[in-house]
Amino acid sequence: MPGIWILRIGHRPQRDKRVTTHVALSSRALGASGIFVDTEDRTLEENVKSVTDRFGGDFRIETGIQWKKMLKEFDGEVVHLTMYGQRVDEAMPKISRDRDLLIVVGAEKVPFEVYQAADHNISVGNQPHSEIAALAIFLDRFTDGKNLYSDRDGQMTVIPNERGKTVVEKHT
């Protein structure tokens, strides 16, 4: 199955640490294969790896990547999420399901080069909101909601519970 990759650009380690962590965790939870972050940030890498180690799956994180090079060399389709883009419902059928997908989200102002490099500039509504919300809605729609409860075979598995918390821990 083709991979879904996230490219986070404009990450400022001090200011964006929570937001970028949540971009990574939401991407993982919603079925992405991994995330690439432009600025090097070892703490971010460790935090995300620690969640993957406990909750399972193969989520890759790399920081300190050259985003322009990645956009140029990526073998697949590139989607850029932006409030200025075309409607997500209209764009969705145009995205290939047979090739890897790279989804770009920004932090502050996104350079125009990204708009030009993307195969699809897509909005999730035309109101300004958040990269976490945009990505979550996009991924959920792109995967038809299939990853919300998919099994990751982790050390820890949460069992849905109407009231309390049920966590099953695997002992190896």
The least CB distance from residue 161 to ligand SAM, in Å, is 33
Query: Binding of ligand SAM at residue 37 (CB under 6 A)?
Result: no
Question: Interacting stretch for ligand SAM, rule CB under 6 A, among 69-77, 89-97, 127-135, 149-157?
Answer: 127-135
What letter would DSSP give residue 110? P
The one-character DSSP state at 56 is -
Tell me if 125 contacts ligand SAM by CB under 6 A: yes
User: Cα dist. 117→9, 58, 62, 161 in Å?
Assistant: 14, 28, 21, 44
Residue number of the CB closest to ligand SAM reads: 106
Chain residues 41-100 in contact with ligand SAM, contact rule CB under 6 A: 81-83
Rounded Cα distance between 148 and 74, Å, is 27
Q: How many CA atoms lie less than 13 Å away from 95 in the CB half-sphere?
A: 28
Contacts with ligand SAM, residue ranges (CB under 6 A): 81-83, 105-110, 123-125, 127-131, 134
